[in-house]
Structure 1
Amino acid sequence: MMGNEGSHLNGLEIEEKPTEVTDFWAQYRATINDSCSYFSLKSDGSVSVFKGEAVLGPLWAVSTPLEKFSNNLLKYRHPCIVRFISAWQQRSTIYLATEYVQPLSQVLGVLTPLQMCIGLNNILRALVFLHEQAGMSHNNVSIQAIYVTGDGQWKLGGLQYLCSFPELTGAYLKHARIHRYDKAIDPNEDSHKITKTVDQYGFAALVDDVFTGHEDDQVPHLKEFKQYCRESLQHNEPELRPSLSEVSHHSFFNHEFISIYKFLNFLPLKSEEERCEFFSTILENLKCYHEETVAKQLGGLLLSRLTMLDQTARKDVIPFILKPKHERTPNSEYSGFFSLSIFKEHVKPRLMQLFGVRDSQIRMLLLTHFSKYVHVFSHEELSQHILPELLLGIKDTDDNLVACTLICLSELVPILGAGTVIGGKRSKFFTDGRPNSKTSPLTLVSGRAHSEIFAQQKALRDLTCSEEIFKHEKTGSFETITLNERPSPVGGESVEVESLRIKPNIGAGDPSEEDWSDWDNTSNTKHATFISPEIKGHYEDIPLIVDNSITNHKTISKTSLLQKAAIEAKKNIIDISELDIKNQKFESIKKSGDDFDFFADMTPVIEKPTLTIAPAESVSLSSKLDFVPDEGTDENEGWGDTWND
């Protein structure tokens, strides 16, 4: 029963230019703005609208062709028949709204032979349903009666000539012949024989038209099937023609690709063992077929609700389908199945539909792999479609669902911005507490080799420093750095310069007197030698010159002479008053072999700190520990008293 004007779909916008014009109607593309995204692959509310006027003829006395077409679509529902949405009438014009479809004649030229094979299988399934389940004959099997959905599925239409088998008479067929496809008309219709095999003859003509211009070897068993159609389906004796259910058992409809397609369509009828074996090998079997054909024909089935709820498919199939394949990582262990361009064209629309499904298991699966495919969506798609669905998910009572949803929302923050994702007013509560100075060159980067770290560090002279750097000068293969030290205690004032060099293997026993550090005061300058840029974590009584293979004989002899001179100077102290700074003389003290130094055993050892400094340019640095007596100062000033008081 047709609807009245009040049944007009709300928000329907019909394009002005028709998609196709036939003898009975004009087909238009339309959009429903407020709902019905379910009927469009692209989730934009696209539908098809057929507009028809009244037609004169003996078959249309009760109802117009479009009315009959609409009533039959409403009554006979099947996955391979065009889906009915709504129908209404405005004055004398009849309107029929269906899922978005295109006439097969407009897309047949771009389809592959394998896609045609699958399409013919769909039409055959629809005809078997009408014959065996509904008891109806189509009577108009041809390219003009077939439509293609957005995902490439063939759907049977043209049901305006549909009738039951008892009504199928020669007179009925004669009245309908004027608008039917001439090549699909059975020559036996003029006879008085009542036949129920009109659709078999028309299906054979359809096979011939579809594969016109294609080689027989492009699809397995195509040549044998064409011959079968001519000899069996178009047999001169209608009674000898096989039923359409028998045709479905031909090898042409049972090769590997068709078998995979059929298995996915009849998944609920398969046992758990069959499903487990099937999904564990399906991707390997599909790799030998054209990628776009697989995506267009099987993409919807691979992401169907039944597939996504199967445990084996969730482990072995879905993770690869939901991840686009990048050319940069073709050999990756977790490389996706479809390339990025194919993914965007055929898989992305399915994902946008799936985000509208209120099934917790499907939503959790989408959230688990969200980071793999989020980059394929545009900003508008993310903000207008994906984000509202995610925000709905955080209000669910399932804690796991909410936790996964929040993780996915964090993926959107760098893309859409925090203001779009969380909304509301935001303020700056945190500040950047990092110092403005450059990062220390000794900061180690985790995960890098020791040699790489130091190779990337800058030299000490290239870094800013608040203190001046010690002067140094290169001597041979070593660098001698001049350090300013505080004066030694009493005893070595007469020694002008001391070159400090610690022997390599000190520390294996008690140090002798000659190994002790002197108390002699130099002219406040010491020379230390460094060769390693690495900082030691502790002080050691080891040589600053680490290389034991190099021996400087001149330095050893000179140091020994200076040490002996310092010991002799200590022995020449006659009176304790000479320790007074006022009474000290800064000239050389004569050696006396008769005096004995009673304090020789009490000479303290002051260890020199082992400093390791990276080589740097010569820069003068005044140490705070320097002490250099002023030559202009009166030697009688300073203490204010004498040792005799």
Structure 2
Amino acid sequence: MYLRGPFADDNIRALQEDGSNCSIFSFDITANRSALPLAKNALKKLRTLRHPGVIKVLDTVESDTYIYIATERVVPLRWHVKRKSLSPETAKWGLYNIARTVKFINNEASSVHGSLKVASVYTTESGEWKLGGFEVLSNVKEDDAVIYTYGSLVPDSGRYTPPELASGWDALKRSPHSAVDAYGFGALVFEVFNGSFNGGDQAGQTKNIPPSMHSSYKRLTNANPKARLSVANFLEQGRRHGSFFDSPLIKLTDGIENLGVKTEEEREEFLDDLEQLTDDFPEDFFKMKVLPELLKSVEFGGGGPKAFGVVMKIATKLSNDDFESKVTPVLIRLFGNPDRAIRVCLLDNLPLMIDRLPQKLVNDKIFPQIVTGFTDVAPVVREQTLKSVLTLVPKLSDRTINGELLRYLAKTANDEQPGIRTNTTICLGKIAKHLGNSTRAKVLIAAFTRSLRDPFRTAHCASCPPSAPP
């Protein structure tokens, strides 16, 4: 993988022991010995700085000739910027996450990143933006911090260096330590919306930047470091009601992290917002972060039918492989759930999922769970179970259809609810082609004869040919 600066500009894909993807950042000591302090600093800070917005390190290897850092699977943000593949909503969401990370670095870690730009940001497989580029990240309390000596050695640093550092990086000590990162974050904002930042002449320019962000953004790159808006304050202003970080996607991504501890009222409100999905939202995030949380909420956290409805909305965009690995195992467990609201919801959504489910799975694992609904004390469960037969039949074996299924339909044909009796007759007529030759006539004659004697007029009509009088 790639850390702009001392690390190699390549994209090495690797597998962890469990088969999942990771990225490798590499540094050739022999070819870049003068930059070794930068590489060692990046290695140290990535190991020790823990925050959700920082690239996650899995392992590191040091030798006399190379440094390797294995991380979660990431790709450079600049790839997306060059392709102009970021929607405005996604761009704001990404900047919001980076701003939170920079705030942590400046405030809680009492440090300066010193190299904020598009080349220091990466995107994960879920689409989240993570911060790297730690070659000169330094704690301001350290007199011999790397940034004072090596700040100017980071590639392209001249383009991103704020004006107060023109005479040297020691000038950091005479300004608020957050001022350098504020200027760099302003450059990052410009790059995200325009593709590149060519130097101080573009600092504060608002071309292509969302109008709601203009005022706060321009203060990030104020020529006077003491008058510069810190990234923490930029984040605070953006979070205000109606401001640039008060967006549906940001609310959603913040909310999904705490879904399990929300009250029922908060969860309902969150799911209402989640139902208003748009194509502007990053599909990978929904697949890898939102979907698993919703599935957990449905199965364990009281998310209920509404959460499952959103699950199915997201699942329609999944590949067959992703559906099989992420959704199917939970579906199998949910069909065994005694909660009637969940069972009815599953049956309602069965047409949306049936084509994704293998025949053997439906016949051997799901159908045995569904048939308990034929004898449920709640009429609505019996009714929905009966209606599901037409969806299930193409996935059932002949033995199951002509055996277990017909035995249950014989019971619903005599149900106390006239609507269920009526629908049983209709169901038998529609699945007749799936019945065995030896049983078809016997079953249908018995069913239609019984229906003709039914005192419920609609049940009686269900057994009549379309042209026959009731």
- TM-score for both structures, normalised by structure 1: 0.47
Match of 1:566 in 2: none
Change (3 A) 1:92 1:361: farther
Counterpart check, 1:258 vs 2:250 = yes
How many Å separate the matches in 1 of 2:335 and 2:69? 33
**Helix, strand or coil at the partner of 2:99:** helix
CA distance in 2, matches of 1:363, 1:89: 51
Identity of aligned residues (%): 20
> Relative to structure 1, is the Cα distance of residues 307 and 377 closer, same or farther in structure 2, using a 3 angstrom cutoff?
closer
Separation in 2 of the partners of 1:316 and 1:451? Answer: 32
Contact 1:124 1:244 in 2 (8 A): yes
Q: Contact conserved, 1:208 with 1:226, CA < 8 A, in 2? A: no
- Quote the residue 1:229 is aligned against: 217
Amino acid in the other structure paired with 2:160:
A
Name 2:180's counterpart in structure 1.
198
How many Å apart are 1:82 and its aligned residue? 0.8
How far residue 131 of structure 1 moved from its aligned partner, in angstroms, is: 1.4
CA separation in 2, counterparts of 1:260 and 1:31?
32
* 2:296 matches 1:308: yes
**2:136 and 2:150 in contact (8 A); partners too:** no
SS of corresponding position for 2:11: strand
State the one-letter code of the partner of 2:255: F
2:428 alignment counterpart: none
Shift of 1:128: 1.0
Structure 1 residue 249 displacement after superposition: 1.6
Counterpart position of 1:161? 136
TM-score by length of 2: 0.63
SS in 1 for 2:188: helix
Q: After TM superposition, list the pairs within 5 Å mapping 1:106-255 onto structure 2.
A: 106-108=79-81, 109-167=84-142, 172-173=147-148, 175-181=150-156, 182-191=158-167, 193=171, 194=173, 195=175, 196=177, 197-212=179-194, 222-230=210-218, 232-250=219-237, 251-255=243-247
For each residue in 1:40-92, what CA deviation from the matched residue of structure 2 results, as whole angstroms up to 9, or x when unmatched?
xxxxx11111222116466635xx61x43233222112111111111124662
**Cα gap change, 1:117/1:433 in structure 2, threshold over 3 Å: closer, same or farther?**
closer
Matches within 5 A, 1:314-333: 314-315=303-304, 317-323=306-312
Alpha-carbon shift at residue 129 of structure 1 (Å):
1.2
1: CA distance between counterparts of 2:305 and 2:439? 50
Q: Distance in 2 between matches of 1:104 and 1:356?
A: 33
DSSP 3-state at the match of 1:291: coil
Does the 8 A contact of 2:127 with 2:284 survive in 1?
yes
**2-structure distance, mates of 1:73, 1:171:** 15
Give secondary structure in 2 for the equivalent of 1:278. helix
Instruction: Determine helix, strand or coil for the equivalent of 1:453.
Output: coil
Structure 1 position 178, deviation (Å): 3.2
> 1:200/1:417 Cα in 2 relative to 1: closer, same or farther (>3 Å)?
farther
What is the distance in 1 between the residues matched to 2:96 and 2:461? 66
1:198 is aligned with what amino acid?
V
Provide the rounded CA distance (Å) in 1 between the counterparts of 2:36 and 2:466.
91
Three-state SS of the structure 2 residue aligned to 1:151 is: coil
Structure 1 pair 131/120, CA: closer, same or farther in 2 (3 Å)? Answer: same
* 8 Å Cα contact 1:153-1:297 kept in structure 2: yes
1:112-511 correspondence runs (5 A): 112-167=87-142, 172-173=147-148, 175-181=150-156, 182-191=158-167, 193=171, 194=173, 195=175, 196=177, 197-212=179-194, 222-230=210-218, 232-250=219-237, 251-265=243-257, 272=263, 275-276=266-267, 278-279=269-270, 281-284=272-275, 286-287=276-277, 290-291=278-279, 293=281, 295-305=283-293, 308-309=296-297, 314-315=303-304, 317-323=306-312, 337-338=313-314, 340=316, 342-344=317-319, 349=322, 352=325, 369=346, 375=354, 434=438, 444=448, 450=461, 453-454=464-465
Structure 1: how far apart are the matches of 2:440 and 2:356?
A: 40
Post-superposition shift, 1:98? 0.9
Whole-Å Cα distance in 2 between the matches of residues 96 and 27 of structure 1?
13
CA positional deviation for 1:236: 1.9
Aligned with residue 36 of structure 2, among 57, 60, 74: 60
One-letter amino acid of the counterpart of residue 201, structure 1: Y
1:275 Cα deviation (Å)?
A: 2.3
Provide the C-alpha distance between the structure 2 equivalents of 1:28 and 1:321, rounded to a whole number of angstroms: 36
**Is residue 99 of structure 1 aligned with residue 75 of structure 2?**
no
2:75 aligned counterpart, secondary structure: strand
Alignment of structure 1 residues 628-643 onto 2, 5 Å: none
Q: Is the 8 A contact 2:3 2:120 kept in 1?
A: no
Distance 1:317 1:76, change over 3 A: farther
User: By how many angstroms is 1:226 displaced?
Assistant: 2.9
Q: AA paired with 1:253?
A: F
Q: CA separation in 1, counterparts of 2:56 and 2:252? A: 24
- Secondary structure of the 1:152 match is coil
- The structure where helix makes up a greater share of residues is 2
Cα shift readout 1:164-207 (whole Å, capped 9, x = no counterpart): 11347899456332324333211111346323111100000111
Structure 2 match to 1:426: none
SS in 2 for 1:201: helix
Number of the residue aligned with 1:28: 11
After superposition, the Cα gap between the structure-2 partners of 1:173 and 1:307, relative to the gap in structure 1 and judged at 3 Å, is: farther
- Give how far 1:373 is off: 6.5
SS at match of 1:166: coil
Q: Is the 8 A contact 1:68 1:160 kept in 2?
A: yes
Is the CA contact 1:102–1:147 (under 8 Å) kept in the aligned structure 2? yes
Q: Do the aligned partners of 1:27 and 1:49 also contact (CA within 8 Å) in 2?
A: no
Deviation at 1:280, TM superposition (A): 5.1
1:436 Cα deviation after fit: 10
Q: Give 1:372 deviation, angstroms.
A: 6.7
How big is the alpha-carbon RMSD for the aligned residues of Structure 1 and Structure 2? 4.9
Alignment-derived partner of residue 56 in structure 2: 83
Task: Give the paired residue count.
Answer: 371
For 2:11 and 2:125, how far apart are their aligned partners in 1?
15
Q: 1:352 to 1:71 in 2, by over 3 A?
A: farther
Distance (Å, rounded) in 2 between the aligned partners of 1:25 and 1:143: 17
Relative distance call for 1:187 and 1:96 in structure 2 (3 A) is same
